[in-house]
Amino acid sequence: MCEQKILELAPGHSLPLKAEDLGKENIARNSLNSLKAQMEEVMTENRSLRGSIGGQVLDKLRKEKAALEESLRGEILINEEQRNYIEILREALELKNPKRQNPDNFVSMAMMKRELERKEMEQQKNEEDISEMEGLITYLKRETEEQKVQLESLRCENEKLIKENEELVKEIQEISQKVFC
């Protein structure tokens, strides 16, 4: 049984055991140390992945959200300016003074009316754009929440793997103690 266990732990070890093998550096011990080093590397990589993947996703989503919010603010400012301009044009059109009007005033009023209609169309388009961007922001918020849920799931899975890894380390240590004792 001992020889079978030795072959499991160190497949390249020669059998039967000789007295000179006992004085040499133990292959099983080297294998155990190698396994420990590999497990430490895996645990270090798991820890670094846990922090970097979630951080990158959240940073990307935050940047997209900030850019959309800034764009929306700009659209809102333009919309307000156009509303004010339309109101001024309306007031100008409502001022009717037939005694002072000349043909140039009629042309000016017609041009103002066309400009007013153009601005109203622009305002409507801007309002549609704002509504579209608000929908996109809502969508991105939902996506962010879904990413958070996925990240939490990955974190839980990672913790489970770490626990399994720790259990394997304990088993290896127990086996090595049995073999070397």
- Quote the Cα angle for 176-180-181, to 5°: 115
Helices (H) and strands (E) in the chain, counts: 4, 0
Per-residue pLDDT at 11 exceeds 80: no
The pLDDT, as a whole number, for residue 93 is: 63
pLDDT for 103: 52
pLDDT at 108 over 80: no
The answer to whether the beta carbons of residues 12 and 26 sit under 8 Å apart is no
Predicted model pTM: 0.34
pLDDT tens column, 46-98:
666 666 666 676 677 778 888 888 888 888 888 888 888 887 776 766 665 44
Digit-coded pLDDT (tens) for 126-160: 999 999 999 999 999 999 999 999 999 999 999 99
d(CA 123, CA 45): 53
Tokens 């800034």 sit at which residue?
70
Q: Which of 45, 3, 82 is nearest to 158 (CA)?
A: 45
pLDDT band (50, 70, 90) for residue 32: low
